[in-house]
Amino acid sequence: MQIVFFSVILLVYILTLTGNMAIICAVRWDHRLHTPMYMFLANFSFLEIWYVTCTVPNMLVNFLSKTKTISFSGCFIQFYFFFSLGTTECFFLCVMAYDRYLAICHPLHYPSIMTGQFCAILVSLCWLTGFLGHSIPIFFISQLPFCGPNIIDHFLCDVDPLMALSCASSPIIEHVFHSVSSLIIILTILYILGSYTLVLRAVLKVPSSAGRQKAFSTCGSHLVVVSLFYGTIMVMYVSPTSGNSVAMHKIITLTYSVVTPVLNPLIYSLRNRDMKFALHQILCGMRIIQTS
């Protein structure tokens, strides 16, 4: 079964890299996609590439290895990047919801508000706050004594398996970590849902059926991504999970860390006509270069 798991995860990883790289290239090369919405989408795809890369390569090595080890520093580096990139994704989904809210609810003010400079500031804030959010709790967790057996019953370095290995009882650090995670998740999902509620109310007032369909198509793809990502992380980090089995924890983590990133390019490209056209142009250009 190790070979089967290796093959499936490797295929998903390759598809994730290919799909997200295609979106980045389409936004970079098609001048019609040089808009705030697609700039945020390109950054989101770049984030997804690193989000899977911080866990999947080590997972693939472990499938083929007999020892299946990771160094102490390597484990906490993976732990830090996994949570920092996940937090950054929450903020990016908020910014993308805010962008759609401005574009649909305040279309006349949108060009003057969502300037290139303002977009750059929002992107920078997403990355900065995402990487600072969990840095202090993770530092304190790394200072706890780990006296063995140092066996992580998981395929990545997550907070609960790591805390279970600590020799010293540290409920305060664990409580702070889960409080920070829950606060970020709850506040961002409430903001996203609030933004799309206002968007939906504005869309229903649009007299043109074509305009309503375009708005629903754009916002629908965002909401599918939000539902996939937040549905799993809320089960994992907000709701009480002590009653869930270790196997269930692994399945949930696999869903939001590996499965969701491979679905995002499909959702955005299949539900977005401009993106489909740009990807088609890139593929046609590659064929012309190969034949010439």
**138-193 tens-digit pLDDT:** 998 888 888 777 888 888 888 888 888 888 777 888 888 888 889 999 999 999 99
Give the residue with greater pLDDT, 72 vs 124: 124
- What's the sign of the alpha-carbon dihedral 36, 40, 45, 46? positive
- Rounded to an integer, the average pLDDT of 87-107 is 92
pLDDT bracket for residue 252 (50, 70, 90): confident
Banded model confidence at residue 288, pLDDT cuts 50, 70, 90: low
Mean pLDDT of 235-259: 75
Architecture of domain 1-290: Up-down Bundle (1.20)
Separation CA 36–CA 217 (nearest Å) = 17
Rounded CA separation 194/196 (Å): 6
Residue extents of the structural domains in the chain: 1-290
- Please give the Cα distance from 122 to 191 (Å, whole number): 15
**Mean pLDDT lowest for which of 72-81, 148-157, 205-214?**
205-214
**In the chain, what's the furthest Cα-to-Cα distance?**
67
Residue 85 DSSP SS3: helix
Least confident of 1-10, 140-149, 201-210, 253-262: 201-210
57-69 burial, b at 16+ Cβ within 10 Å, e below that, comes to ebbbebbeeeeee
Task: Give the SS3 label for residue 216.
Answer: helix
Answer whether residue 287 shows pLDDT above 60: no
Is pLDDT of 270 > 70? no
The pTM of the full predicted model, rounded to 2 decimals, is 0.87
Q: How far is the C-alpha of 279 from the C-alpha of 263, rounded, in Å?
A: 16
Residue type for position 20: N
Q: Are residues 155 and 210 in contact, defined by beta-carbon separation less than 8 angstroms?
A: no
Which pLDDT score, from 0 to 100, does residue 85 have?
A: 94
- If you compute the radius of gyration of the chain from its CA atoms, what whole number of angstroms results? 21
Mean per-residue pLDDT, 227-252: 75
Mean pLDDT calculated for residue range 63-71: 85
Instruction: Flag the least confident range among 54-58, 80-84, 108-112, 226-230.
Output: 226-230
CB–CB of 234/180 below 8 Å? no
Tell me the two tokens of residue 292. 């010439």
Q: For tokens 């920078």, what's the residue?
A: 124
More confident residue, 2 or 39: 39
DSSP H or E run through 31: none
